[in-house]
Amino acid sequence: MSTCQLRRTACAFALAVSFSLIGGAMIGGAMAAGYKAGTLEIGQTWARATPKGAASGAAYLTVTNTGQTPSRLSCVSSDAAATCQIHHMSSHDGVMQMRPVADGVQIKPGETVVFKPGGYHIMLGALKHALQQGKTVEATLKADDGSQVTVQFPVAAIGAPAPGAAAGGGTMGGPGMMQMNKMH
Ligand SMILES: [Cu+2]
């Protein structure tokens, strides 16, 4: 049973606070400290710690297309994993499914796409080592004009629902959500 089910009011409050902090940080110019590949601006990078022996991990970011034409974001390589792919997770008939986005995520002009648990994520496959909370993993990302950028992802707790949040907060949605947390 999750802490949220026990203390729903307190948890809702904590979520509201963390969402407003994230919103505030983005408005406050998180992108200025971010990364750029072609017309794609990348910020709000984070990853989730993995248990010892885990085969794969997930990293997240926010990407905005500042250009006039659509662009695609894909992952080239990571220092922590043998493979690096963009995946999308979605729910079909209550079952969470994860699939690779082969050509990368398309981002329309002016559009912002938020990678997060339960949606888009960067799948780090065949991990060379566990992703440790407090450390940083690196991945090289590519826009479809060929420009590449190497991005640092600070590692948050195992199962963290958002950067800087405590582990376990993402289990509020019931069994389906809990499974999603295991799968990214
Ligand atoms: Cu995945």
CA of 98 to the centre of ligand 1 (A): 6
Q: Which CATH superfamily is domain 3-183 in?
A: PCu(A)C copper chaperone (2.60.40.1890)
Distance 1 CA to ligand 1 centre (A): 25
**What pLDDT sits at residue 4?**
37
- The string of pLDDT tens digits covering residues 124-160 is 999 999 999 999 999 999 999 999 999 999 999 999 9
Q: What is the CA(48)–ligand 1 centre distance, in A?
A: 12
Q: What is the C-alpha to C-alpha distance for residues 87 and 98, in angstroms, rounded to an integer?
A: 7
How close is the Cα of 85 to the center of ligand 1, in Å? 8
Cα dihedral 105, 116, 50, 95, rounded to 10, equals: -90
Long-range contacts of 142-147 (CB under 8 A, 24+ apart): 142/37, 142/73, 142/74, 142/75, 142/76, 142/104, 143/37, 143/38, 143/39, 143/40, 143/71, 143/72, 143/73, 144/38, 144/71, 144/72, 144/74, 144/104, 145/38, 145/39, 145/71, 146/38, 147/37, 147/38
Cα(166) to centroid(ligand 1), Å: 21
Phi, psi at residue 153, to the nearest 5°? Answer: -115, 105
Q: Print pLDDT tens along the chain (184 aa).
A: 333 333 343 434 344 434 444 443 444 334 445 899 999 999 999 999 999 999 999 999 999 999 999 999 999 999 999 999 999 999 889 998 999 998 899 999 999 999 999 999 999 999 999 999 999 999 999 999 999 999 999 999 999 998 876 665 443 433 444 444 456 6
Helix ranges (DSSP H) in 2-89: 3-6, 8-27
| pLDDT score for 113 | 97
**86 CA from centroid of ligand 1 (Å):** 7
Quote the tokens at residue 47. 């990853």
Q: Where are the domains of the chain?
A: 3-183
The whole-angstrom separation of Cα 54 and Cα 90 is 22
Dmax (CA) of the chain: 49
pLDDT at site 163: 85
Q: What is the pLDDT, as a whole number, of residue 29?
A: 38
pLDDT at 98: 92
Nearest to residue 151, comparing CAs of 66, 68, 72, 60? 60
Distance (Å) from CA 163 to ligand 1 centroid: 18
